[in-house]
A and B are shown apart, each in its own frame.
Chain A
Amino acid sequence: MIEIRWHGRGGQGAVTSVEMLAMAAIEAGKYAQGFPAFGPERRGAPVMAFNRISEKPIKIRSGIYRPDVVVVLDPSLVGLVNVTDGLKPGGVLVVNTSKPASEIRKVLNYKGRLYTVDATHIAREELGVPIANTTMLGAVLKATGVLALKDLSAPLAERFGRLAIKNVKALKRAYDGVKTAQAA
Chain B
Amino acid sequence: MGKRVGMEVGIAAAEAVALCNIDVAAVYPITPQSHIAEHLADIVHDGRINAEFITVESEHSSISACAGASAAGARVYTATSSQGLMLMHEILPIVSAMRLPVVMGNANRAISGPLNIWNDHTDIMPQRDCGWICMFAENGQEVIDMTIQSFKIAEHPDVMLPIVLNIDGFQLTHMIEPMEFPSQAQVNRFLPPRKPFVALHPDNPISMGCFNMPDIFTESMKAKETALRNSKKIIVKIWNEWGKLFGRHYRPVETYKAKGAKTLILTMGSMGETASVAVDEMRKKGASVGLVKMRLWRPLPIEELRAAIKGAKTLIVMDRAISFGGAGGPVATDIKSYLFQDKSRPRIVNYIMGLGGRDVTVDDFIAMTKKAAKKKEDTFEFYGVRE
Contacts and interface: CB of A to CB of B under 8 A. Distances in A.
Ranked nearest first, the 10 interchain pairs of A and B with the lowest CB-CB distance are A26-B6, A38-B170, A23-B6, A34-B176, A62-B361, A59-B273, A22-B176, A26-B178, A61-B274, A63-B359
Contact of B178 (A32, A60, A155): A32
Interface in A14-61: 18-19, 22-27, 31-36, 38-40, 58-61
A60 B274 CA distance: 5
Task: Categorize the interface residue count of chain A.
Answer: 20 to 34
B160 to A, nearest CB: 34
11 contacts: A24-B6, A33-B176, A34-B177, A38-B118, A38-B170, A38-B357, A61-B270, A61-B274, A62-B274, A62-B361, A62-B362
B6 A22 contact: yes
Task: Categorize the interface residue count of chain B.
Answer: 20 to 34
B277 interface: yes
Interface of B: 4-8, 31-32, 117-119, 170-171, 174-178, 270-271, 273-274, 276-277, 357, 359-362, 364
A32 B177 contact: yes
Contacts of A58: 177
A163 B360 CA distance: 40
B174, B270, B276: residue with the most chain A Cβ atoms closer than 10 Å: B174
Given A22-B6, A22-B176, A35-B174, A61 B271 contact: yes
A59 B276 contact: yes
Given A62-B359, A65-B361, 5 more contacts: A32-B178, A34-B6, A35-B174, A59-B273, A63-B361
A22 to B, nearest CB: 4
B174 A60 contact: no
B273 A32 contact: no
Contacts of A22: 6, 176-177
B117, B171, B176, B178: residue with the most chain A Cβ atoms closer than 10 Å: B176
Contacts of A19: 8, 176
A32 B274 contact: no
A65 B276 CA distance: 19
B361 A27 contact: no
Contacts of B7: 23
Given A60-B362, A61-B273, A61-B274, A38 B177 contact: no
B4 to A, nearest CB: 6
B5, B6, B178, B273: residue with the most chain A Cβ atoms closer than 10 Å: B6
A23 B176 contact: yes
A61 B118 CA distance: 14
B305 to A, nearest CB: 23
B174 A38 contact: yes
A128 B170 CA distance: 33
B277 A59 contact: yes
